[in-house]
Amino acid sequence: MADNISHNAPQVAVIMGSSSDWETMSHACEILERFNVPYIKQVISAHRTPELMAEFAHSARDKGIKVIIAGAGGAAHLPGMTAAQTTLPVIGVPVKSRALSGVDSLLSIVQMPGGIPVATTAIGNSGATNAGLLAVSILSTFDSALAQALEDYRNELKDMVEESNAKLD
Ligand code: RP5
């Protein structure tokens, strides 16, 4: 998975603190693939590879990345420390941890001091899905085709509710 370029000209970088985060973070990548958004995915650990994290954050904008999705669990420093070293938007995904079910991850990521924002999602798979959708939404502010694709996605969700109600009848 390391430094795996999934498509050309990546616009989103999906980074995670460990390969054990992939099961969660794959849900963000599924959304990016569904919307045909080019992305890269990479394991970068805030505490095991701090120099790599700094190099990645400092160079991301020059490489054409527009949004960073960062997932981590436990004492989850990766999203905040990445945000500290780039002015790109960073979306943090709290990965469900073994010890505290992700509450530790959530609080580590969400409570950024004013000045360095991290847009934090819910814990776990839903959070990763929403991180992908939020990245698409950010990109859609200057891409009308993506904006239309998001409208279509919302309509699909609406249709699913209507279908489930029809089954109740
Ligand atoms: C964090 O520690 C990672 O983001 C992961 O969620 C957690 C556990 O990592 P492993 O011990 O599974 O590598 O850095």
Q: Residue type at 76?
A: A
The pLDDT tens digits of the residues spanning 85-114 come to: 999 999 999 999 999 999 999 999 999 999
Q: What is residue 49's predicted lDDT score, i.e. its pLDDT?
A: 98
Give the residues surrounding ligand 1 with Cβ less than 6 Å away.
Answer: 17-18, 20-21, 45, 72-74, 95
β-strands 4-5, 67-73: how paired?
Answer: unpaired
Q: Shortest CA distance to 78 belongs to which of 102, 113, 99, 54? A: 54
Output the pLDDT for position 8: 76
Whether 73 contacts 108, CB under 8 Å: no
Residue 9, sorted as left (phi over 0), alpha (psi -120 to 50) or beta, turns out to be left
Q: Whose CA is nearest to atom 2 of ligand 1?
A: 73
Q: Torsions phi, psi of 72, nearest 5?
A: -160, 160
User: Is the model's pLDDT at 2 over the cut of 80?
Assistant: no
pLDDT band for 5, please (50, 70, 90 cuts): very low
Protein residue with its CA nearest to atom 13 in ligand 1: 18
When the pLDDT of each residue in the chain is averaged and rounded to a whole number, the result is 95
Residue 164: band (very low, low, confident or very high) from pLDDT cuts 50, 70, 90: very high
Supply the ipTM of this predicted assembly: 0.96
Residue pLDDT, tens place only, 47-81: 999 999 999 999 999 999 999 999 999 999 999 99
pLDDT band at 3 (very low <50, low <70, confident <90, very high): very low
Please name each of the domains of the chain with its CATH number.
4-143 (3.40.50.1970)
Q: Is 26 annotated as a binding residue?
A: no
Task: Please state the atom number of ligand 1 nearest to the C-alpha of residue 20.
Answer: 12
User: Region 23-28: what's the mean pLDDT?
Assistant: 98
- Residue 34, annotated as binding a ligand: no
Q: Which residue has the tokens 């609406």?
A: 158
